[in-house]
Amino acid sequence: MNYKKETYQAGAFKLMAAAFIVRVLGFVNRIYMSNILGAEGMGLYQLAAPVYSLIILTLTSGVSISVSGITAGERAQGRDKNALRAAKTAFGILLAVGTLCGIFLSVFAKVIATEILGDQRAYYSLIMLSPCIPIVASASAIKGYFYGSSNVTPTALSQIAEQIVRIGVIFFVANRIAGSNLAYACAIATTSAAFGEMANLVVVGIAFLKEKAEEKPTISVPDTAKYIVKNSLPISLNRLAVSFMGMIETVILPMRFIAGGLNYTEGIETLGRISGMAMPLIAFPTLITSSVATTLVPAVSSAVSVKNYKLANHRISKCLSIGFLLGFVFFGIYFTLGIRAGDLIYPNQGVGVILKKMSYCCIFMYVEQIMVGIINGLGKQSFSLITSAAGYIITIGFIWFGVPVYGIDAYIWGSIISIALTVFLNLCFIIKTTGLAVDLRNWVLKPSVVAGACIPAYLFTEYFPINSEFLRLAASGCFVCLTVFVLIVTMFRKQKWGEMIWLKIQRKK
């Protein structure tokens, strides 16, 4: 078998490195798109995205996890051919179902754009997204196979290739027609996703074709298909519910802005500033927490499987410390530098004020992502659905009742409160399940001191005799980040972060 298993350390590092490269490329891509499409164009782009995400996440999440589990289990017992059969079967299922969903989307694109999204210009974007569905769906089966094989290299390379192709399409095509027709430009920007996903599939497909096994499979294709569908259905239904509520949030937000006195164009522009410009900046640090959450699932599962809750709680506590530290640090950075950075990155769009107000989300957003990984590691995925649904209900309530009266502030505070509630519920559940001890000193007190230090550090740089806005932002950013770094090294010098995930299971004698 042509197969090299990677350690958790190597896998996590490669995932984080690839996520960083992908996130940086995606960030550059998003800035470039924002500047050529404007706030209205980004709002139109964001309007179509939830429909695509609803279909993709429903199709892929459960099957990918199922294939990963089958692959890990079969290879652990030396049945490599069964793992290959599972991946190929899942690939066929997702290709067929994804094709049907793509056809459905293309046929009903005009109805969805007009009746559900409320903007017929989204029709062209939906049409361009429809061929992506079978490509993305089928590729997820292969990615699940490589995750189960503890070989994340092909997936990491495919994500980088995808972003490079996306940037190329937008640079050479969308930029040339942005001024003539906004709807067409958004559709071309959406088309970049299709070409990017094709590149993604090509990379993982080439790697998968090199995987071979000599022995014959011991499971039939029908039995494999039944097992995959049975195990993936609950997870897919959970993702469907969460994605559907996220789509509702995106669709009704412009409507409630209009109810508050804005015209339609202004409502779409505000959506673009929030979802297409400010939120990618807020979510940038999730490249770290997503990698931690991914590797945390097997780490917690392995400890719990041998009933070593002391080790599980040790890992959980370390990871929560990382989440809270990132949250407070980036809250301090965005709170102090947000206005200047947002206005410099997105000139004349008013994103800086939004970014500063949304900085409070950082405190809870990153740790919430890690908590989801912990709960998945405990095998309690259904609880994540409950807390996510509760959070969405609060956000939608603020949008419906608060936005027409208080405008964008109601949406931002609704988002902050919903994430905070989700974190609180998840933490209570984790404590109840594992007996985890609350570590306020490392979770809250130390990180809050680091965040608070950003304010005087920033105010000090205001006295620098610099006229250039770019140089002033660079100087402020360097001084604030240096202050943060020194405080983290000083206050957390005794922390052994590597133990959070990769400490070997200490079995009781």
Annotate 207-218 with three-state secondary structure: HHHCCCCCCCCC
* Last residue within a domain, chosen from 204, 220, 237: 237
The answer as to whether 161 is a domain residue is yes
In contact, 281 and 355? CB cutoff 8 Å: yes
CA atoms within 13 A on the CB side of 350: 9
In contact, 487 and 453? CB cutoff 8 Å: yes
Map residue 3 onto helix, strand or coil: coil
Query: Burial code of 331-347, b = ≥16 C-beta within 10 A, e = fewer?
Result: bbbbbbbbbbbbbbbbe
The pLDDT score that the predictor gives to residue 131 is 86
Q: Where would I find the H helices in 398-407?
A: 403-406
Domain shared by 395 and 322, yes or no: yes
Rounded Cα gap, residues 331 and 264, in angstroms: 32
Domain shared by 308 and 223, yes or no: no
Domain shared by 342 and 444, yes or no: yes
Domain shared by 163 and 295, yes or no: no
* Last residue within a domain, chosen from 237, 263, 293: 237
Give me the number of domains the chain comprises: 2
The answer as to whether 74 is a domain residue is yes
Rounded Cα gap, residues 161 and 91, in angstroms: 21
The answer as to whether 357 is a domain residue is yes
Residue from 66, 83, 93 nearest 217 by CA: 83
Query: Which two structure tokens, joined as six digits, stand for 338?
Result: 């947000």
Phi, psi of 307 (to 5 degrees): 60, 30
In contact, 165 and 21? CB cutoff 8 Å: no
The answer as to whether 261 is a domain residue is no
The answer as to whether 188 is a domain residue is yes
Find the angle CA(308)-CA(311)-CA(315) to the nearest 5 degrees.
140
Residue from 414, 319, 432 nearest 368 by CA: 319
In contact, 233 and 65? CB cutoff 8 Å: no
Burial class (CB in 10 A: 0-12, 13-18, 19+), 146: buried
* Last residue within a domain, chosen from 177, 206, 237: 237
Residues 6+ apart with CB under 8 A from 481: 333
Domain shared by 213 and 294, yes or no: no
Q: What is the CA radius of gyration of the chain?
A: 23
Rounded Cα gap, residues 400 and 81, in angstroms: 53
In contact, 157 and 183? CB cutoff 8 Å: no
pLDDT tens across the length of the chain (509 residues)? 444 454 445 555 666 677 777 777 777 777 777 777 777 878 887 788 888 888 888 888 788 878 887 887 787 777 888 888 988 999 999 999 999 999 999 999 999 988 888 888 888 888 888 888 898 888 888 888 887 776 777 877 888 888 888 888 777 766 666 556 677 777 777 777 778 878 888 888 898 888 876 777 778 888 888 888 887 887 787 778 878 888 888 889 988 999 988 888 888 888 888 988 888 889 888 877 776 766 666 567 667 666 777 877 887 888 888 889 989 999 999 999 999 998 888 888 888 999 999 999 999 999 998 888 788 778 777 787 788 888 989 999 999 999 999 999 999 999 999 999 999 999 999 999 888 888 888 899 999 999 999 999 988 888 888 888 888 888 888 988 888 888 887 777 666 554 444 444 333 33
Q: Where would I find the H helices in 108-180?
A: 109-111, 122-129, 132-148, 153-169, 175-177
Rounded Cα gap, residues 167 and 162, in angstroms: 9
Domain shared by 115 and 232, yes or no: yes
The pLDDT score that the predictor gives to residue 33 is 76
The pLDDT score that the predictor gives to residue 423 is 93
Domain shared by 232 and 132, yes or no: yes
One-letter amino acid of 279: M
Query: Which two structure tokens, joined as six digits, stand for 103?
Result: 């056809």
The answer as to whether 444 is a domain residue is yes
Residue recorded with tokens 């994500």: 159
Residue from 406, 409, 404 nearest 256 by CA: 404
Residue 477, Cβ neighbours under 10 Å: how many? 17
The answer as to whether 252 is a domain residue is no
**pTM, to two decimals:** 0.77
Residues 6+ apart with CB under 8 A from 144: 63, 64, 65, 66, 67, 68, 71, 87, 90
In contact, 426 and 372? CB cutoff 8 Å: yes
Find the angle CA(43)-CA(49)-CA(53) to the nearest 5 degrees.
155
Q: Dihedral sign for Cα 120, 121, 122, 125, please.
A: positive
One-letter amino acid of 492: F
The answer as to whether 300 is a domain residue is yes
Domain shared by 289 and 231, yes or no: no
Residue from 501, 25, 503 nearest 291 by CA: 501
The pLDDT score that the predictor gives to residue 354 is 93
The pLDDT score that the predictor gives to residue 181 is 67
Residues spanned by the domain of 444: 285-504
In contact, 239 and 58? CB cutoff 8 Å: yes
The pLDDT score that the predictor gives to residue 504 is 40
- Which helix (H) or strand (E) is 203 found in, with range? helix 182-209
Residue recorded with tokens 């980088």: 160
Domain shared by 207 and 336, yes or no: no
Residue from 427, 453, 215, 397 nearest 323 by CA: 427
Residue from 56, 65, 45 nearest 125 by CA: 45
Domain shared by 416 and 498, yes or no: yes
Q: Where would I find the H helices in 284-308?
A: 286-305
The DSSP code for 360 is: G
Rounded Cα gap, residues 399 and 397, in angstroms: 5
Rounded Cα gap, residues 97 and 134, in angstroms: 7
Domain shared by 332 and 456, yes or no: yes
Domain shared by 324 and 457, yes or no: yes
